Structure 1
Amino acid sequence: MSKVSYYTAEGLKKLREELNYLKDIERPKASQAIAEARDKGDLSENAEYDAAKESQGLLELKIAKMEEVLANARLIDESQLDTSKVLVLSTVKLKNVANGMQMKYTLVAESEADLKTGKISVSSPIGKGLLGKSVGEIAEIQVPNGVMKMEILEISRD
């Protein structure tokens, strides 16, 4: 059974672009590499041919997996999201109760997570700990070195 994934319009667009690149650019390159290797003679002793066939197989597997992800992708309607609780696409301002440090994260689908831009996955420990919480609540988040307590200061949609 396939897992449904939720994406923003931007994330879905990136996924489609990557799939189209693999199909339109990489697939013809792989076929060309096989044709060139085949032209070099005896296939039973042609390592270049074997490598090209294996590369094509891996590419086709990647394309098939991406098509499956795209088939199970759902676009999130941001206008319908509730801002009273932390959900996917919530931008959450947090304060670490232990050291008073403040941070801001946007919860996104796993495939769109990018810590450099402040986007964390809803399936990460912090993401799971924040889901469903409201402003003023303390989220106890299980991390590898124990339990981290984070106070939710603000929930918004950016």
Structure 2
Amino acid sequence: MSRSLISRPGYQNLQDQLVNLRKIELPANVRAIEEARAHGDLSENAEYHAAKERNAIIMSKISELETLLATAEVVDPLPEPNGRVVFGCRATVYDVEGDEEHSYQIVGSAESDANCGRISMTSPIGQALLGKEEGDEIKVKTPGGMRILEVVSVELVEVE
């Protein structure tokens, strides 16, 4: 089983999600199943079927989080970038064709969220950026097509 890198805050976030599912979501859903069951005929009871489906989703998410936590390798402290793109750093890049700058924090796949500027080190852009220095230009094939990016700056930041 391969290990996946994760920051200390990212690991804690996954643990918090797991505790929430086990101690709050699952017991609340069990109560919903019991209430729906008390309404009688289960074959035509939409509330019962919805609660059972929700239960399956919760159990699946619990299993997924347990696997992520079991295979996670916490990187703490985060490495100093020293001008080079490394795990945990924020890289600001200039998109040559789009004439715009983007900032990406390089994280593990378990804590990536493109909407928040956190990209996985295994994503096409993440892979292309790792090890590059300020001033380097990279060509990266993305689902949206070929992009040319120039590394503007690299800084160490705390993963949120």
Change (3 A) 1:94 1:14: same
Tell me the matched-pair count: 157
The 8 Å contact of residues 81 and 154 in structure 2, kept in 1 or not, is answered as no
Change (3 A) 1:81 1:44: same
TM-score by length of 2: 0.80
Change (3 A) 1:48 1:92: closer
Cα deviation for residue 82 of structure 1 reads 4.7
Change (3 A) 1:118 1:43: closer
Change (3 A) 1:135 1:29: same
Q: Which residue of 2 aligns with 1:136?
A: 135
Other structure's SS at 1:78 match: coil
The 8 Å contact of residues 88 and 122 in structure 1, kept in 2 or not, is answered as yes
The 8 Å contact of residues 83 and 90 in structure 1, kept in 2 or not, is answered as no
Q: Report sequence identity in percent.
A: 34
The 8 Å contact of residues 129 and 142 in structure 1, kept in 2 or not, is answered as no
Q: Which stretch has the larger CA shift, 132-141 or 34-43? A: 34-43
Alignment of 1:4-153 (within 5 A): 4-98=3-97, 101-153=100-152
The 8 Å contact of residues 91 and 104 in structure 2, kept in 1 or not, is answered as yes
For residues 30-89 of structure 1, what are the alpha-carbon distances to aligned partners after superposition, in whole Å with 9 as ceiling and x for unaligned? 211222222233445544333333322221121111111111112112354553532211
Change (3 A) 1:44 1:137: closer
**Code of the aligned partner of 1:59:** I
Larger-gyration structure (1/2): 1
Matches of 1:8 and 1:73 in 2, distance apart?
9
**Code of the aligned partner of 1:150:** L
Larger relative contact order (Cα-Cα within 8 Å, sequence gap ≥ 6) = 2
What is the aligned-residue RMSD (CA, Å)? 2.5
TM-score by length of 1: 0.81
Matches of 1:118 and 1:87 in 2, distance apart?
15
